[in-house]
Amino acid sequence: MKQTAVVTAGTAGIGLETALGLAEAGLAVTVVGRNAERGARAVERINATAPAHSARFLAADLASLDAVRVLAGRIAADGPLTVLVNNVGAMFADRQDSIDGIEATFAVNHLSPYLLTELLLPALRAGAPSRIVNVTSGAVAVAKRDFDAVEPPGGYYGFHWYGRAKLAHLAHTLELAGRLDGTGVSVLAADPGGAATDMTNGTMTDPKIVSPGLRLLWPLVRRKFERSTSGPASLAAKSSIFAATDGSLAGRTGVVIGPRAQPVVPFRAATDPRTAEAVRRLSEHLAPVAPA
Ligand SMILES: NC(=O)c1ccc[n+]([C@@H]2O[C@H](COP(=O)([O-])OP(=O)(O)OC[C@H]3O[C@@H](n4cnc5c(N)ncnc54)[C@H](OP(=O)(O)O)[C@@H]3O)[C@@H](O)[C@H]2O)c1
């Protein structure tokens, strides 16, 4: 059976490097992004490596839950799916709502991959042994751990809200791994560490993204960001590629792969069942699998 992979936000940055790695491993890769020209360039780049199967681009704005539903329908129509890499992620300097009227950081980093995964579970079950790889971030460490509502109490600070949405998604990842245990669908998280990409070269240069306390130390904080995100995206993609393809992970689930492309201990707050439960409630309410 042909092995297939979908990489969201796969037309640039860490996602494109991940797609290249999966194509090299013999999977038929679909990359998802908004911009069709970028998508065509990504497909050209992947196909230039003479993969076993040609790559394909599907357009979708993953900030829109309707677009996620349409995308899932198109992918599911192809039949069994072997690998889903939920690589999409975004950080915003200013608070903004998604097209669905949901705070955009939470929508893009958690709700969108949450919904895409839920909708693709039948295809992933049909493709078992299959893997879901959710891309996480070290920013989970600076997150507020309050998931009673989409937005945490207090002011908007893009980096911290990004970390909180990534924490929600990591808690969901570990909970889903438990839920799917024994189905042949493994659920893993991959932390790329850092890389110089659109995201790190853009929003992460704006002092507004950190809390006022850290803003006072901005030159130091900025230097730390620069140091940790100066590497190439090809290196940062190794954790996702390992999670998606490495034979040593066969039959394993609920594993977090760290920046050195090796299993690491999950960030403790993400293993708290109360966090997972609060995130589940919020997700089912905001992004129902079967819309009313
Ligand atoms: N870079 C880092 O240092 C770092 C560190 C830790 C974790 N991460 C995580 O790693 C993942 C990849 O990060 P990255 O730095 O490579 O990001 P990036 O450079 O911002 O990614 C660019 C890709 O994202 C796509 N994209 C952005 N918004 C989209 C949307 N709404 N819908 C569909 N596609 C969208 C772009 O496609 P279009 O151009 O078509 O929109 C492009 O393919 C993210 O989950 C990020 O949170 C990154």
**pLDDT tens for each residue of 198-251:** 888 889 999 999 999 999 999 999 999 999 999 999 999 999 999 999 999 999
For the whole model, what pTM was predicted?
Answer: 0.98
- pLDDT for the residue 199: 87
User: Of all atoms in ligand 1, which is nearest to the CA of residue 31?
Assistant: 43
Ligand 1 contact via 151 beta carbon (within 6 Å) = no
**pLDDT tens for each residue of 19-64:** 999 999 999 999 999 999 999 999 999 999 999 999 999 999 999 9
- pLDDT for the residue 252: 98
| Over residues 56-80, mean pLDDT | 98
Q: 7 — alpha (psi -120 to 50), left (phi > 0) or beta?
A: beta
Chain-wide mean pLDDT for the chain? 96
CA 91 vs. chain centroid, Å, equals: 12
In angstroms, the CA 292 to CA 278 distance is: 21
Indicate if 162 belongs to the active site.
Answer: yes
**pLDDT tens for each residue of 107-140:** 999 999 999 999 999 999 999 999 999 999 999 9
Please tell me the distance between residue 60's alpha carbon and the centre of ligand 1 in angstroms.
Answer: 13
Ligand 1 contact via 116 beta carbon (within 6 Å) = no
User: Of all atoms in ligand 1, which is nearest to the CA of residue 36?
Assistant: 40
Question: Cβ contacts of residue 191 below 8 Å, gap of 6+?
Answer: 135, 136, 137, 138, 239, 256, 257, 258, 259, 264
